[in-house]
Each structure stands twice: as C-alpha cells, then as structure tokens.
Structure 1
Amino acid sequence: MIFKFSFIERWYERIKQLARHKHAERSLIGVSFFESFIFPVPTAIIFLPMVVASPKKAWRLAFICSTASVAGGIFGYLIGFIAYEAIAQPMLESLGKGEKMAGFEDLVDEYGALAVFVGGLTPFPFKVVTVLSGALGLNFVVFLVASIVSRFLQFYFLAAVVWKFGERAEALIKKHFAKFTFGFTGLVIVGWLVWKHFFHS
C-alpha cells in the first residue's frame, strides 16, 4: 500500500500542514485535474489529509476535487480519441500502465459505462479509464455521466466518512484504502444489478 513506507507517511503529514495554506485548494485542483490523464499520484493522497486538516471544508473540497477530476477526465478522453498512438499510449506505458490498459480494453468492450463507473470509483488508475475510453470510441455522453457519478460518489463518500469519524476514519482508510473502495463499489454494483433485474427488465 502506498502509505506503507515511512517517507510517504512523513510526506502525508506534511500535506496535512500544507492543507491550511491559502493556495491549498488550487493545488488540489491541479492534482485532481492532471491525475485524470497523466499525474501518477492518486488524488486521494492529497484529498484525505486536506479534509482531516479542514473538516468544515469537507463538502467544498469534495466538490472541487470531483469537478477537477471530471474535467481532467474529459481532457484525457480527448487525448485518447484524437492522438492515442502518438501521445496517449506512450504516455501511459511510460507510467507502467501497460497491463492495466490491456485489461481495461476488454472491460470497456464488454461492459461499457459500467467499466468506466467502476474505474472511476476504485483505486484503478483513472487516467487509464479516461484515455482508453476515448481511444476505444466509447460514447462521450455515456463516459461523462459515468465519470461524474463515480468521481462524485468516491470523493463525497470519503469526505463524509472522514468528516464524521475524523482521524479514526483517516487511519482506517489509509490502511485499507483498496479494500475500502472496492467493497463500496461492490455494494453499488449489486444494487445496480438488483435494480436492473427487478425494475428495468
């Protein structure tokens, strides 16, 4: 897990201090935007300590983070759609995302919007989701709706948990972030399947 090493933990604590800086929100916007198509560091690493440091701003930070992430995702989609072989593919491969690219291609072909939704809600690299969605020609409106729902769900849910339980929730999320978000995603998917079976058949 990314929080395992001591130097990462020290960096995490430093972010909590920087979260009170007057330009902290601008930094969050930048990280959220660029993480959606090129930046290698997950936005949650920046987002969580900022919410812990300023719990009264939890909902504002969630909105900023979600909106910037979706905007970056649109940019990533366009890169994939317009210049996949020239720009997007070499960029993702340089970040070590080659295997994830191949796996996500199969998911998009089979599940479409659901693949984008799951990719946007879990620790799966969102940059792979956005760029390959464009490269594979996934319907833009479908991509956009799935991105908005998944990114807003992720960041508002994390903000709500940290806002409610404070540093106890932060410690738990840091330790079990992947299990935490995959479990939540599983519940959402089960709910979606139940709804589709009983109400949309």
Structure 2
Amino acid sequence: MKVFTALYDRVLRWAGHPRASWMLAGLSFAESSFFPVPPDVMLAPMCMARPRRAMRLATLTTLASVAGGVLGYLIGLLGLELVLPLIEEAGYAPAYETARGWFVDWGFWVVLVAGFSPIPYKIFTIAAGAMAIAWLPFLLASLLGRGARFYLVAAVLGWGGPRMEPWLRRYMERIGWFSVIVLLALVVYLSR
C-alpha cells in the first residue's frame, strides 16, 4: 500500500491550484499554532513546479508561519488553561513540559531550533507565551528559525526543479516512512 505516494499526488494537485499560494499561507499560519500538517508538504512541490517563484514562496511561508506563531504565543499567554486539555489529549503534554524546561535553560535558542527542526513548532509557540518569554527575541528567533527552514526547502527544490519530480516520486514511500520513524523516535525521546 503506497500511502505517501497517494498523498504526494494529492499535494501536487493542490500545488497547481490557482489559489495555491493562499492555501500555502493558510497552512503555514495554522501549523504554527494548532494544525498538525507542516507547510513543507505544499511548499516543496510548489517550489519544484515553479523554481523561479521558490524564494517568493519561502518568504510567504515564513511570514505566515511566524504570524501563526504569534497566535500560538497569544494562546499560551492568554488561554493556556483552555488549551492545555487539548495538548494533553493530542499526546503533546510530555513535549510541552520538555519545551517549558528548555525555555528556562535556553530561551531564545529553543525557539530558533524549534523553528527549524521537525519538532512541532506550535508546542514551542504556546510554551513561549505561557512562560511570557520576551516578545522581540521570540519574534526574531521565529523569523530566523522558520526562515532558515523554508528557504532551505525552497532553494533545494527550486534548484532541482521539475527534473527532481521523478526521483522524489520514486523514493516518496521511503522518505515518508523515514519521516514517521524519526518523528516517533523524537516523541518517545521527548516524553521520557
């Protein structure tokens, strides 16, 4: 059963939609505060299909993601009591507690690394708000971390362009399952 190839085909169709940029911005915004699907799934095929627009798409993704991060920060700052049961129900409670501990030790650097890494960024935006970390460093770290990640994706796939598509399609199942294994290992590690 080819789970990831079917998803890949669907995302490629979405990436070709006339309003794909709006969909990408909406996904980027939502993922930073409450939605589980990372924007890379749309950004990558859009950059591959339109290499000349790759940097513009990375900028859009970064700005929308940081705006969503601001919403996550406000959720943590103003409404943590309402959101905490949802975090626990989704299984993110151990990751949230780990994030809180990291903020005490490393502050700015935690947001920077979380913005770049596959760790669910929304956990860190909410934790940053809950701990009321300084606003400007949070914003700067978010811009740098998210920007580095999305510009890297855009640069690699924009450089590869349409000629990368056959290679990506051939290895999509392996890439997908490898990503799931890495994410599960990360969740297990963070919940210890």
Aligned to 1:39: 35
Asked whether the 8 Å contact 1:19–1:54 carries over to 2, the reply is no
Aligned to 2:134: 139
| Residue 122 (structure 2) pairs with residue 127 (structure 1) | yes
Counterparts of 1:70 and 1:169 in 2: how far apart (Å)?
32
| Residue 96 (structure 2) pairs with residue 101 (structure 1) | yes
Q: Unpaired runs of 5+ in structure 1?
A: 179-201
Counterparts of 2:90 and 2:38 in 1: how far apart (Å)?
13
Write out aligned runs for 1:24-63 (5 A).
Answer: 24-63=20-59
Equivalent residue for 1:89, pick from 75, 78, 84: 84
Q: How large is the RMSD of aligned CA atoms in angstroms?
A: 2.4
User: For residue 146 of structure 2, what is the amino acid of its counterpart?
Assistant: R
Q: Unpaired runs of 5+ in structure 2?
A: 181-192
Asked whether the 8 Å contact 2:48–2:165 carries over to 1, the reply is no
User: For residue 65 of structure 1, what is the amino acid of its counterpart?
Assistant: T
Asked whether the 8 Å contact 1:121–1:154 carries over to 2, the reply is yes
Equivalent residue for 1:16, pick from 8, 12, 19: 12
Aligned to 2:71: 75
Structure 1 residue runs of 4 or more that deviate by more than 4 Å after TM superposition: none
Mean Cα deviation higher: 13-22 or 101-110: 13-22
Q: Which deviations, in whole Å up to 9, do the C-alpha atoms of 1:61-90 show, x marking residues without a partner? A: 10111000000000110110011112x212
Asked whether the 8 Å contact 1:113–1:146 carries over to 2, the reply is yes
SS in structure 1 of the partner of residue 115 of structure 2: helix
User: Following TM superposition, by how much is the alpha carbon of 1:10 offset from its aligned partner in structure 2, in angstroms?
Assistant: 0.7
Q: Which deviations, in whole Å up to 9, do the C-alpha atoms of 1:109-129 show, x marking residues without a partner? A: 100000111100000001001
Which structure would you say has the larger RCO, counting Cα contacts within 8 Å and 6 or more residues apart? 2
Asked whether the 8 Å contact 2:50–2:158 carries over to 1, the reply is no
What is the identity percentage for the equivalent residue pairs of Structure 1 and Structure 2?
34
Q: How many equivalent residue pairs?
A: 175
* TM-score, reference length from structure 2: 0.83
SS in structure 1 of the partner of residue 34 of structure 2: coil
Counterparts of 1:170 and 1:116 in 2: how far apart (Å)?
33
**Inter-CA distance 80–37: structure 2 relative to 1 (3 Å threshold):** same
